Amino acid sequence: MIAIFRKKRVAVVCALVCLIAVLSILVWVPGAVPSAAERRKVPVYGVETDQNVVALSFDAAWGADKTAQIMDILEQYGARGTFFLVGFWVDHYPEMVKEIAERGHVIGNHSTNHLHMAKLDRAKMEEELRLTNEKIAALTGNAPQYFRAPFGEYNNSLIETADAMKMQTVQWSIDTLDWKGISGGEIADRVLANVKSGSIILCHNNSDHILEALPLILVGLQNKGLKAVGMDEVVMSSDFTIDANGIQKANKS
């Protein structure tokens, strides 16, 4: 009896294995891999480049009293910056928006209301970007080419929305954590310990110690043979790919 039971159990197991194999053949279709549209999209976090350049960027959502001084320091060291502006900041400081553009720095879009945009539907995402683009263009004559998501939160729909509006979504490879109130020296140390060609550095225009940190950062960059330039001199606009880590690379011919 034991022998018969074991044989039946083996037969049942074999039948199940065969059934699973048949179902796998029926379900699997050659080439059935996720399409490009289904794959996770990523913004530009940094750039692979042989140019000794980095992008210093400043998110502007609250306050503007240090912005002119930031530009003074940048220009003192022959540097350019990129300012990602929120729509309500543009409403409060239109003359500063004009000054940023007139002084040759890059302006990016940081949404209209600084919302958690990955939670929005596509129409609301488009509205958040469009309204700020229109406000900036009305003041400067040019709509932004770059978008940075509030809180660094994004999904495929948000990146696709920015793409459709001819904007590149840009994050950062170095977070200064200046918003935490750390000292200027600590901010600079965070940058200089991690910076390399193609780095994108996140700062905030009204953080507590940004004015003390900037000269230290700029001198440190010069000592490393690096120059702070606008986002348009670091991020490629065509003929590139972005790897899974968000590193933008030129396509090889």
| Residue 179: predicted pLDDT | 95
Beta strands in 4-52 (DSSP E): 46-47
Read off the pTM.
0.85
| Residue 14: predicted pLDDT | 43
Nearest to 199 by CA among 188, 207, 191: 191
Please state, in angstroms and rounded to a whole number, the distance separating the CA atoms of residues 164 and 248.
Answer: 19
- Average pLDDT per consecutive 10 residues, the chain (253 residues; last block may be shorter): 42 42 35 54 98 98 97 98 98 98 98 98 98 98 98 98 98 98 98 98 98 98 98 97 97 86
Please state, in angstroms and rounded to a whole number, the distance separating the CA atoms of residues 116 and 207.
Answer: 21
Calculate the alpha carbon distances from 251 to 40, 48, 59 in Å. Answer: 20, 11, 30
Q: Which residues are catalytic?
A: 59, 204
Contact 49, 203 (CB under 8 A): no
Write down the residue that tokens 């440190």 correspond to.
Answer: 220
3-state helix, strand, coil in the chain (%, to 5): 45, 15, 40
| Residue 253: predicted pLDDT | 73
Contact 94, 64 (CB under 8 A): no
Nearest to 129 by CA among 141, 116, 113: 113
| Residue 38: predicted pLDDT | 61
Write down the residue that tokens 């953080």 correspond to.
Answer: 207
Please provide the size of the chain in residues: 253
| Other beta carbons less than 10 A from residue 134's beta carbon | 14
Helices (H), 43-121: 67-76, 87-92, 94-102
Q: Are strands 168-169 and 82-85 parallel, antiparallel or unpaired?
A: unpaired
- Residue 45 exposure: Cα atoms within 13 Å on the Cβ side: 15
